């Protein structure tokens, strides 16, 4: 475990690089009593906290749905196949922040990708945003529908972020390791700069979380998510 007086993110990034981390990527043993208790408690927290967050945020979600309908044609929700635990696909929900057909136009913009390392695609001033799309992304309001993915058991509150199927890589042991646990709404990457973090450091942070996950680390990440979202750092 990280020393108590050391920042979790800084400590994680001080660990071995992705290329040398293979010895610590053993499979999670979900058969042990401690692991079973943790998973049961985590699921109970997902249901309880997820329900409370939906109840507290429904006015924001309602206002967002109306604003999307008034400012651009198309559906309120964006549904996309993402990789769940063990790579199993599931449909992840987001408020739509781009115009219809934006996914098909991604290839045309690939040369402008600001994440130069790894398979992920991000563009700060993406021309595909709707009039309110960039605001939804920067404030993370577009992520609120994923609370329903959490209640359905497809996601958890804390865990590695689920990638689109075309961005999933399984070339290395650590990349495969990311898929060994339930994907989450927030994670170490989310609270440490998001898109400012290079892909391989992102993977390393997920690897650290998987190897050290527990209720206290989950709580720490949830608490730190609030100022991270408010700061909008790396959100685009």
pLDDT of residue 2: 43
> pLDDT of 89-148, one tens digit each?
999 999 999 998 887 777 777 767 767 677 777 777 788 899 999 999 999 999 999 999
For residue 85, pLDDT over 50 is answered with: yes
For residue 77, the cross-strand partners are 95
C-alpha closest to that of 128 among 112, 144, 146: 112
The fraction of the chain above a pLDDT of 90, given in percent, is 58
Per-residue pLDDT at 161 exceeds 90: yes
CA distances from 72 to 64, 66, 75, 129, 130 (A): 12, 10, 9, 10, 7
> If you search the block for the tokens 């961005």, which residue do you land on?
167
Q: Burial of 135 by CB count in 10 Å (0-12 exposed, 13-18 middle, 19+ buried)?
A: middle
What is d(CA 104, CA 186) in angstroms, rounded to the nearest whole number? 27
Which range is least confidently modeled, 63-77, 103-117, 162-176? 103-117
Confidence bin at 4 (pLDDT 50/70/90): very low
- In this prediction, residue 195 carries a pLDDT of 77
Collapsing DSSP to helix, strand or coil, 164 comes out as strand
Tell me how far the alpha carbon of residue 155 is from its chain's centroid: 10
Report percent pLDDT > 70 for the chain: 84
pLDDT of 82 reads: 95
Is residue 188 within 8 Å of residue 9, measured between CB atoms? yes
Cβ neighbours of 79 (radius 10 Å): 12
**Structure-token pair, residue 135:** 């605001």
Model confidence at 234, in pLDDT bands (50, 70, 90)? low
Average pLDDT of the residues in 145-171: 94
Q: What are phi and psi of 157, to 5 degrees?
A: -65, -40
- pTM of the entire structure? 0.83
- Say what the pLDDT of residue 28 is: 53
Band of pLDDT at residue 154, cut at 50, 70 and 90: very high
**Rounded Cα–Cα distance for residues 63 and 72 (Å):** 14
Task: Return the axis-axis angle of helices 199-212 and 215-231, rounded to nearest 10°.
Answer: 150
User: In the structure encoding, which two tokens stand for residue 176, read together?
Assistant: 């495969």
**Across the chain, which distance is largest between two alpha carbons, in Å?**
53
């Amino acid at each position: 475990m990280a020393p108590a007086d050391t920042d979790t993110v800084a400590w994680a990034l001080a660990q071995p690089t992705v290329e040398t981390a293979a010895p610590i990527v053993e499979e999670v043993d979900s058969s042990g009593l401690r692991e079973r208790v943790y998973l049961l408690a985590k699921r109970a927290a997902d249901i309880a906290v997820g329900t409370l967050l939906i109840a507290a945020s429904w006015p924001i979600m309602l206002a967002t749905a109306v604003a999307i309908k008034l400012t651009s044609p198309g559906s309120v929700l964006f549904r996309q196949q993402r990789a769940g635990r063990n790579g199993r696909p599931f449909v992840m929900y987001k408020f739509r922040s781009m115009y219809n057909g934006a996914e098909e136009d991604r290839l045309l913009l690939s040369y402008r990708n600001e994440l130069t390392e790894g398979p992920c695609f991000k563009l700060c001033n993406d021309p595909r945003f709707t009039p309110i799309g960039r605001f939804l992304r920067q404030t993370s309001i577009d992520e609120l529908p994923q609370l329903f993915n959490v209640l359905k058991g497809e996601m958890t509150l804390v865990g590695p972020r689920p990638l689109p199927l075309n961005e999933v890589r399984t070339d290395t042991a650590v990349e495969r390791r990311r898929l060994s646990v339930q994907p989450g709404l927030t994670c170490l990457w989310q609270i440490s700069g998001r898109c400012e973090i290079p892909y391989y450091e992102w993977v390393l942070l997920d690897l650290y979380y998987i190897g050290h996950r527990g209720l206290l680390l989950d709580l720490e990440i949830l608490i730190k998510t609030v100022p991270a979202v408010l700061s909008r750092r790396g959100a685009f």
